[in-house]
Amino acid sequence: MDRGSEDDAPHDEHRGCHAASTEDGEVEVTPACSLSGGVSEILAHGIWGLLNQEEERMTGPTMFGEQGDVVDPPSVSPISLMDTCAPSISTLPSCSYSSSRHTDFSSSSSSSSPLSLSPPLPPSVELSAVLTDTRLTLDVYRGGAAALPLLWESIPGQLKGLQYLRLGSEDKAGLDGALDVLSHLTGLRSLAIRGHCLHDSRGDPLPGLLTTLPASVSSLSHLVHLDLSFNQLSCLPSCLLSLPMLSSLLLCHNHLLALPPDIGQLSSLTYLSLLGNELVSLPPGLGQLKALQTLDVSNNLLQELPDEIGSLEELVKLELSQNKLKQLPESMGSLLSLRELVIYSNDLRLIPLCLNKLPLLKIDVRDNPLGRPPTPPPLSPTPDEAETKLPELHIGFNQHSFCISSAGCHVFLPGGAELVFPPGCIVTTTKLAWAEKRPQRKWVQLEEHEILLSRPLELRPHGVTFLKPVEVCVPYHRTKRKEVVVRTFDGQSWSTLPTELRRGSESHSSRPGGRPARLACCSVNHFSWFMAVSRPVKDSCSVTPAGCLLVSSADPGVKLHFPPDSTVDTRTITLQVLQVSMSDVQVLCGDPQARVSPLLCLSQTSSMHFLQPIKVQIPLPSGVTGHTVDMSCLHLLHGDPTAQTWTDITAQVSLYVTHLYAIFYITHFSWYWLWYTTQRCVSGVVRKIYQRLKQFKVQFLVLQRKTDPSQVLLQCLPSNKVESRMQSLSEQYDGPQPSDLCDLLEGEQFFAGFERGLEISTDRPDCVGGRLCFEFYSSLKNLKEVYICSAQGQKGPVRGQVSFYRGEIPSNLPEEVARKRKGLDSQWLTTLPLRLPALNSENSFIMEEVEYPPLNLGDPESGYLTEANLLSISLQIAQDWRVIGLNLGLSYQELERIQYKNRDNLGALVLDMLFHWARVQKNAGPGAVSRLVAAMIESGRRDLAEEIEDIVNIGRRKYTESLRRVGLEAESSSLGEKQQ
């Protein structure tokens, strides 16, 4: 008996449903039918062409073999892969078709292709591509199952000869119609009704909607292979027990809770996969499946196995991984044919001695507590150890220090950051401080394709150490399909911390009524600088001399296979996969036929070459298959990040393709990129395109505050964020339209220079050579607000401008971008106009008086509050304006903007706060006055609340008297009744 280690055991975490197994446990992919060239050509240019035209990739095992496996060309040819119908189709008797049948079918299919189907086939799909004389494939486009009943009505004679049928189950209505037709297809030998065949617009797989099968399916007496994976089955359809010839049954990723007791009626079953269900136990009747060779019940909830499992005399492979098994039955010693037992990730503490009688058995026992004593139940906590809620401390914007005692505390910083100090993390009360740094390159270090998601957060003092880990949670902006990590700086180097993502507390004082912030949390024992970074997903593993398999979690089609003896010492391997937009590449290189694969970044802890070639599998570029590929147009590029070069190494490596994948062997790790182009692939062009893909299309904003034109806001944003930003600033700022599109890299430095009679203070710390310094980060605001003035000797109004310039050009900037120039400065980006009005005798800008909108609060019937009334009330509001604003529903951010805008005028500040609230009441419905009264009471200003009520009552009485004067007493009396 051979117990596999972690490295030489099969890595099944990334698999879908299994393929069928031979006696050696290896995947057997053999052609079910020997097709001649005509049908093979139809399949090659039809089905696989559809897969790429629709740009939908089927996942998991299919009739064409287990997708994602690295297949060596010497063992499996492309034709045999294509013709393989299912894992168990190798058990079907071989059948051949004469060329005359293909000739007849070609004529019949061509005549039937103009059929009008509703819903129709996609424009790119011809009927001859999905229908042959024995096969019908309708799961390659969305809603394809709906075409089956239409085809049955049009060409029933041709469908009666079907032996192989594939349906998608993502469309409920179309699926129900297709199920009604199944009973007529009595010649079927292979049937697949699967979910997860197609993906939605966001790239998520479409779930299968099949919940049961009609009883009429029992009439399919010739059915050998049935695949119902990725659906909603909660129990095994009873009609399946009446299929006498059923050999392979795949029920992966459903919701099965139990199997029927009489499952033993499936006497011909050789392959049964129940992967990814909710089974708690297996029935004793399972032992009656005397012909069963492969049984997969991994990823379930099994706690024990029936003793009858020892009756499966022909069982070769048994998958039990990722369950809750605590012991194995002694009857398993009778499984004399068993060659592979996978039991990793269970709760097994002992392997039965009976398995030692099976000398050819290979066991994978990873992640089991073998040899450990039973875990005692946890002791009930003492009253002193009982968990208590930590006290909360909410820090204000102007409060940059706080004290923590040994009792611990949950600290909420402005902007969303949180710090959790557990009890006992410090001995004595300690004063701590925090600060948010501007994202300068001194405080930020990014690697390739990383994006900064937060400002660097500094926690002081740096030397303080904690007895227990302190949780630091940094708020971050949303990122797409990348992982978020916290990076810390210890004063000398940056390092990445283990990170957990969660939502912040709903009670955070800086986000009243808003959605909690996204937090990237890490545990630390000391304070330093922290920031959240988005990076491509990294997959790592340790490679030992025994070898291993590394599968990308971002794209399971990317695999690295390390053979035994490829290294002497254990190495840590890192794999990153970057998905590249095909349309962007086509535009940049000018080749509409260009196709590219995902971009691979491979790295290792040791720079030494491997002793054995490493097999790399990568998906073929979209739109390219193993049958349509022209190998002269396929190029494998090797990137050197240090020298910033790309080299075509196609001729130096062993490169071949299967249906969906390209496979090559390497001994050195770096960047690799697969290109398919009809033009000559030049490494210089690839280098430029690679650099351009790292750039962001940005626009610059220059806005002047309406109330103070000398206060100028400058901002640089990615182009997709400019419109919403302009709308949010339009009430307070005026300015020119955003600039034209420019290109900037993440973290690139640029400057804003004021010209033609305009100046800024050169004493600012961010002013370099008279220009304002910026750092561009795509997820941050890149915002500064400054005061400008007229240059010395300048009189009257100034029509000046602000120009934006690049800073230090990164060494990897494309030449065509670096050479761009439209002025005297070769690094010029764009120029936007500014207008500074003239000053009057009091050194104030001559401009129109600010007019506040009229305050039409309330209504005459329920009470009316005029603008003059509110002005008199505002004179009685002083430093408590902020509390009143909060109780009126204004956010902290809005109040901070109001305070900054009117920082030298308390009266204007109060009015601005009230008018801002009043504008919101236009669409808030009735009751504005009552809300104002309630806010005053809640703020402790009952005197103002009573004054407002007196004003309202006076207005209501005057309104009633006016009605009486014009002779509308009836209306007046009815109004009085309503008021009572």
Residues designated catalytic:
526, 528, 668, 670
- In terms of Cβ atoms closer than 10 Å to its own Cβ (0-12, 13-18, 19+), residue 21 is buried
Are 400 and 431 contacting, i.e. CB atoms less than 8 angstroms apart? no
Task: Give the whole-angstrom CA distance, residue 76 versus residue 30.
Answer: 8
Q: Name every residue whose Cβ is closer than 8 Å to that of residue 227 and which is 6 or more positions away in sequence.
A: 17, 61, 62, 63, 86, 191, 192, 193, 194, 248, 250
Rg (CA), the chain: 36
Residue type, 887: N
Phi and psi at residue 288, to the nearest 5° = -85, -5
Structure tokens at 811: 């060494």
- C-beta separation of 15 from 375 below 8 A: no
Contacts of 936 (CB under 8 A, 6+ apart): 884, 942, 944, 945, 948
Q: Are 194 and 168 within 8 A, CB to CB?
A: yes
**How many C-beta atoms lie closer than 10 Å to residue 680's C-beta?**
9
CB atoms under 10 Å from CB of 708, counted, come to 13
Closest CA to 666 of 622, 600, 620: 600
The Cα–Cα gap between 805 and 817 comes to: 13
47 φ, ψ (degrees, to nearest 5): -60, -50
Note whether 290 and 108 are within 8 A (CB). Answer: no
Closest-CA residue to 786 (of 761, 750, 755)? 761
3-state SS assignment for residue 767: strand
- Sort strands 271-273 and 758-760 into parallel, antiparallel or unpaired: unpaired
Torsion 6-11-14-17 (CA) sign: negative
Helix (H) or strand (E) holding 587: helix 582-589
Contacts 24+ apart (CB under 8 A), 311-314: 311/287, 312/286, 312/287, 313/337, 314/270, 314/290
How far CA 570 is from CA of 354, 539, 540, 550, 614, in Å, comes to 34, 16, 13, 14, 15
Q: How far apart are CA 752 and CA 772, in angstroms?
A: 5
DSSP 191-257: EEEESSSSB-TTSPBPPP------GGGGG-TT--EEE--SS--SS--GGGGG-TT--EEE--SS---
For residue 346, give the amino acid letter.
Answer: N
CB 775 within 8 A of CB 441: yes
DSSP letters spanning 338-376: --EEE--SS------GGGGG-TT-EEE--S--TTPPPPP
Query: Exposed e or buried b for every residue in 253-282, given b needs 16+ CB within 10 A?
Result: bbebeebeeebbbbebbbbbbbbbbebeeb
Three-state secondary structure call for residue 623: coil
Class of residue 767 by CB neighbours under 10 A (exposed 0-12, middle 13-18, buried 19+):
middle
At 672, list the tokens: 């690799």
Residue recorded with tokens 């063992």: 75
Rounded CA-CA distance 228/972 in Å is 75
> What's the token pair of residue 279?
């089974």
